[in-house]
Structure 1
């Protein structure tokens, strides 16, 4: 973005002599975003777009103040502090509010939302808000799914209905030969608009009937007479996975599974309208959707700043999201992000190493740039080789000369420098 226009730079400090959040952000961090960061999101030809750098900053200010798209667009047009932060003339009329949703859609389609986060994080680091070796903490919070929770009967009926709708769009003539006449009455209405039986026994029979109908459809879709590619439709595949989880054959009859026979929450499907949503719980809170794990700085003399965001299915525990630090993570953090990862390395699991039968990795000095390792006895390795472990993880193997290792006594390790 350009420099703050002269008139805006003169009037804004006069109106806000003590400053405000948007103006302080501009004064401390500068423009934060650049149009070049988002050039891949926009075509080279066509109508000139609103500056993506400005739209990114508007999105940040909008989130900070909890504004809707209409309110944010109005703030760009009418608020002096926002014009100062966005480097706009006082007479700038802004843009239509729909531009913001279009910008977010471009970020989502290109999976480029991380670019906004990384730019803010770089600005915070340049201002000294993120320091090397500083303290951070990680916690998780819930993210509800965009769709409402369904009862079990609503779920299976809705899943079958969705599959029937998709098949009707691509192979309607074939579906007519498969569907029973009564299917029209059972699955025309949305589950929430249907009047399911109130008595428990009747609901179970309705559930079992739905399971049998779905099984007929699946068997037909997998038959040789089915149109090519029908079984690969996402809705049909979701129907198959759901029926595996919710129904079983009992003496040749399709019956619903007992709740205790359902799969674990991490793979248990919840709705055909949001296949990735799962059910999770944390303390007294239960929800269907996802879980977002956030890491933030927690220095007592500085504002807190989020440094990492990781989204998982709802049932993933906080502990499972925090992997043990290992050599691969340390290496990738340095190589890919220029970060020195510090933390407790996983415990030694080799029983011979744990009992002193070998020197562990803390007894060697490793110079990664020169590809050189020195053992506790002061001898350098004679071979350095990049390889892979049995599970495909990249590893580095260093071989030492037998004449140096033979006289050495692992049971009484010699003092030596720690590994780097």
Structure 2
């Protein structure tokens, strides 16, 4: 890197202004671009494709890259390919700076992912106009992405995606489909939490909902709603794996949730709280009405029907820490799920007693339940939550533990 480039970069500091990376192997071109842009933007300079990629992946990536094409060693096209291949840089807009003026060259660059072209010799007013326009578009795109992420917290991921890709619209419309419906609630929640401080209730309840929602997403369930301390989730809409696989995924999800609850109880105890709770789960498979219910001004994507009510009644009859499934769900999953028949459930709203099966955790699941480990003695306190660690993070944690062990000798 030339002394001019190094000194210019060193002079940069946080200003709140957009940061633009200019890449060109000719110092005169870099000097000219700096003179054009520096009154309005923080300008970072690079004299090669390698330097450009290093800046783009730094802790403070640019908001826009102005990239020369004809450079030695690594040309602008190759830099563009590598930027697009890296998830960390693929959304940084790139404008090519080039003396190449053929339509074929321009089309090639746009196909690679460039957002615009500025031809040399440059026109300073044109450069400023193109840069301003692209930064405004990028800012608008970021605002829309931020809004989309915020709205996604109020919608199940599957519903949000179906709205974005056009498979579902915003009309009041329902359809009859065979779904697997999941209900859960916390046993004696009102009585258990009556003497708790509101902050304690909020902390544990939000922690519980966050963990259960994560598991629902992992297994592909559509989170319908939270009702007080309860959750309603269904499988089969807006996307379905088939009725049998939907039922299997629903039961597998329920088992994963009960497993995670056992681990959470350990974590809550480790955090020093004496507060905890257990959940009950009911699952039924049957035909429901699913879709948008409400008015033209306010709609709710949800499910209704007797089969939904049956799942709720099974949940109410389940033992703490247990999972009850209906006869139809059991018929679909019995080849892959271990369960035992229970006494028939007499439920409000149903004329006949309901056949039910209690799902059992097999030995493999019981063996895997201990994903939270802790050791404690005077001067020592270690707690590991494997579900929170990726494979890379587990390897790093093992190294940390070995280093701490070495320091004990």
TM-score relative to the length of structure 1: 0.22
> Highest relative contact order (Cα 8 Å, sep 6+), 1 or 2?
1
- Considering fraction of residues, name the structure with more strand: 2
Question: Under a length normalisation based on structure 2, what TM-score does the superposition of the two structures give?
Answer: 0.22
